[in-house]
Structure 1
Amino acid sequence: MKLFSYILFVIFIVGSETKKFTRCRLATELIKTKFIEKTFLGNWVCLIEKVSNRDTKAFVVTPSGKKFYGLYQIPSRWCREGKKGGDCNIACESLLDDDIRDDTACAVNIFHEEGFKYWTQWTNRCKNDNHITTEIYKCPDLMSRRSNPESPLQSENLRVKRKLSRVGMERSRASSYYGLQ
């Protein structure tokens, strides 16, 4: 019975419509979630590109049986199949839909606990690479947003988010410098 439900789950994922973002569209959607700050936008876009190829329906099962879900390839430790649960208190299946807000909230939660180093693809393919950052800031939507003045409340929110992001980045740097896992 378990095998049958797993096969149905895979057929559902394969048979459902996939939303694959362009770099510019992904960057714009990430900004709209209000979970990602522009300072690290290039890192997030690079991470998503390298782990899921910007595909909301990306689903991987390793030979050892570990499952990874969605744009950020979030492992099942952070979610629960069939109902809310895991460290992000989210159903794994909801990481495979086109609504990226819950996926992004979970990924930011992981980032605040572990830093970008949690994703080995980021460490291997995005760390110290500014190519994608340079490219996304050429996107028309982001160029027009950069010229808009921010309200004082938005500025304060950004300061808090930047501080939290710096903590996550420092954890990534410190653990890779000292060789910690």
Structure 2
Amino acid sequence: MRVLAVVALLSLVPVASEAAEVNPCVVAKEIKLWRMDRYIFFTLADWMCTVHHVSGFKIQPPPSGTAEKTYGIFGFSNKYWCSDGTEPSSNYCNISCQKFLDDNIEDDILCARKVLSMNKIVETWPLWVEKCRGKDLSSYLKGCDP
């Protein structure tokens, strides 16, 4: 009987999230390392604002139940940018979506470069258009010295 009571109590405890979080300052340093801080017209502040609004710097598996899913800190769609093996994909970045779920963001940054080079910003990051474009983004760099 006690075992059942313990099991019942444990079922009420929230399960820890599967999401890992990437330190924003690490993201800023990686973006600068890959010379993405002024790539085309995107500044470092643009990148940081975009990631803040797209993923909150969290790396988590997409929710199940929808055909189109997004992956990684940049929110790459399995319909266009990566292949998850379940849905047809253009896979413009020629990569498995699972690669965007690890804490190595090098491949994420290279795919983000592809997004800009293909001029697919609006389709990929509508939150950048809504929340970041043309705004003072200096607050997104506070506390980091990339």
CA distance in 1 between counterparts of 2:55 and 2:116 reads: 17
**1 or 2 for the larger relative contact order (CA 8 Å, sep ≥6)?**
2
1:122 to 124, 128, 145: 128
Aligned residue number for residue 10 of structure 1: none
In structure 2, what residue type is equivalent to 1:123? V
2:141 equivalent to 1:136: yes
8 Å CA contact 1:35–1:105 kept in 2: the answer is no
Per-residue displacement from partner, 1:83-140 (whole Å, max 9, x unpaired)? Answer: xx81111011001110101011011101111253231100010111123x3551663x
Alpha-carbon offset, residue 62 of structure 1: 7.8
TM-score by length of 2: 0.70
Query: What is the aligned-residue identity percentage?
Result: 26
8 Å CA contact 1:35–1:104 kept in 2: the answer is no
Q: Which runs of 5+ in 2 are unaligned?
A: 1-16
CA distance in 1 between counterparts of 2:35 and 2:65 reads: 33
Aligned residue number for residue 58 of structure 1: 60
2:50 equivalent to 1:47: yes
Aligned residue number for residue 100 of structure 1: 105
Query: How many correspondences in the alignment?
Result: 121
Q: Which structure is larger by alpha-carbon Rg, 1 or 2?
A: 2
Aligned residue number for residue 23 of structure 2: 21
How much is the aligned-residue C-alpha RMSD, in angstroms?
A: 2.5
CA distance in 2 between counterparts of 1:125 and 1:69 reads: 20
Aligned residue number for residue 37 of structure 2: 37
Alpha-carbon offset, residue 28 of structure 1: 1.5
Query: Relative to total residues, which structure has the larger helix share, 1 or 2?
Result: 1
CA distance in 1 between counterparts of 2:98 and 2:60 reads: 11
Aligned residue number for residue 109 of structure 1: 114
Q: 1:135 to 1:71 in 2, by over 3 A?
A: closer
